[in-house]
Structure 1
Amino acid sequence: MSTSQLEKFQDEVEIPEGVTITQKKHMLTFVGPLGKTHQSFRKIPVNLEITDSKVLLTTIDQRKKDYAILHAARSLIRNICEGLITGYTIKMKVVFAHFPITVKVEGKDVIIENFQGERAPRKTVIVGNTKVIPKGEDVILTGEVWTDITQTAANIELKTKVKNKDHRVFLDGIYAFEKKKGIDK
């Protein structure tokens, strides 16, 4: 392969000011103004090397699949760095027609009560360091790690999925309606 072809199997991520990254084998630890988090790269076949202000990524092999994995790892690091500086917010709307749905947070669980008149509450887990704040008809999810926030939102949405009924008629549930950078209160 020529050197120009080999260069596309290498990439680098600029570390923003205020964020420090340390490496211990396959584990990267990120520390920023909004907090501290870590990400394991054990199952991601990419070589990582941290210099003073950059993270150098190189693939293990030179296949098309490795090129895609390289860019997935790059965006993962970039999103964590960006989240530690600005944070992320997802707003969800509680929608119901007849039975009023109540959302509560207890520890690391989100409890959804009275969904379609059910007596037993539905529970789902909060992923990572995500903060869930129920405010009337809205549920606000905030945090530093985008993958944790979106997974928590997906868990809540899936727990309120209507089964064995026409989803065009039975619109009850909790749905995400706004995703943005920055932390809302």
Structure 2
Amino acid sequence: MLQVYKDVELAIPEGIEVKLHARKATIKGPRGELTKHVKHMNMDVRLIKSPQGDKIKFIVWHGGRKHLACLRTAKAVFANMIKGVTLGFQYKCRAVYAHFPINMIVAGDKQSLEIRNFLGEKRVRHVTMRKGVTVRDDPSQKDQVLVEGNDIEEVSQSAADIHGQCLVKNKDIRKFLDGIYPAEKTTIEKVEE
């Protein structure tokens, strides 16, 4: 039997400003501003202000099982936006090689990465970071770069672009494990416990 409606709430922390208009959300925080469209999800998104604290409420009317699954997806999207504008996201990408050392050269503007000597090839691979994402060398670890930004989708896709440039072709990938792999996913600013 179908329920009339089902809802999920997400609490908004102090210092975060949320604007909603026609399922387009703008969230401002100490690290900047993020905007996302959730028009493809058929649901109500409401901002509820109360003395106990503001909340975002996601509501699905007459939803089936698969339609109700969108509720937690939308909540996760908004939670990641709030986490991004407060802490930021950081992916650590490490170069792994057996014989030929992979050289990763970060451009001066930290918007692109140049990969040289992959499997001893002369070809130079260029990776441009997505909007709002920067890349830099890791000072604590050799052969590792840090991909950082506020939007988790752009940061993770930039890390995937780096990994995708170093795929081994026409060889047994069980034997040739060279490449650049995401080693750790964390936040830029550490959470106080």
Number of aligned residues: 181
Structure 2 CA distance for partners of 1:143 and 1:95, relative to 1, 3 Å: same
* Aligned pair partner of 2:10 in 5, 9, 13: 13
d(CA) in 2 for partners of 1:43 and 1:66?
12
Q: Which runs of 5+ in 2 are unaligned?
A: none
d(CA) in 2 for partners of 1:90 and 1:172?
19
Q: Residue 104 of structure 2 contacts residue 143 of structure 2 at CA under 8 Å; is this kept in 1? A: no
TM-score by length of 1: 0.86
Structure 2 counterparts to residues 38-117 of structure 1, below 5 A: 38-52=35-49, 53-106=54-107, 108-117=111-120
Which residue of structure 1 lines up, in the alignment, with residue 159 of structure 2?
153
The offset of 1:60, in angstroms, is 4.9
Shifted more, 105-114 versus 86-95: the winner is 105-114
d(CA) in 2 for partners of 1:119 and 1:183?
38
d(CA) in 1 for partners of 2:63 and 2:186?
35
Q: Residue 4 of structure 2 contacts residue 62 of structure 2 at CA under 8 Å; is this kept in 1? A: no
Q: Residue 48 of structure 1 contacts residue 57 of structure 1 at CA under 8 Å; is this kept in 2? A: yes
TM-score by length of 2: 0.83
Q: Considering only aligned residues, what root-mean-square deviation do their CA atoms show, in Å?
A: 2.1
Q: Residue 45 of structure 1 contacts residue 60 of structure 1 at CA under 8 Å; is this kept in 2? A: no
Q: Residue 112 of structure 2 contacts residue 135 of structure 2 at CA under 8 Å; is this kept in 1? A: no
Per-residue CA deviation, residues 6-63 of structure 1 (Å, 9 max, x unaligned), is 45x2111111111111123232111001111111112222221112311111125411
The offset of 1:111, in angstroms, is 2.4
Does the residue aligned with 2:171 lie in a helix, a strand or coil? coil
- Aligned-residue sequence identity (percent) comes to 30
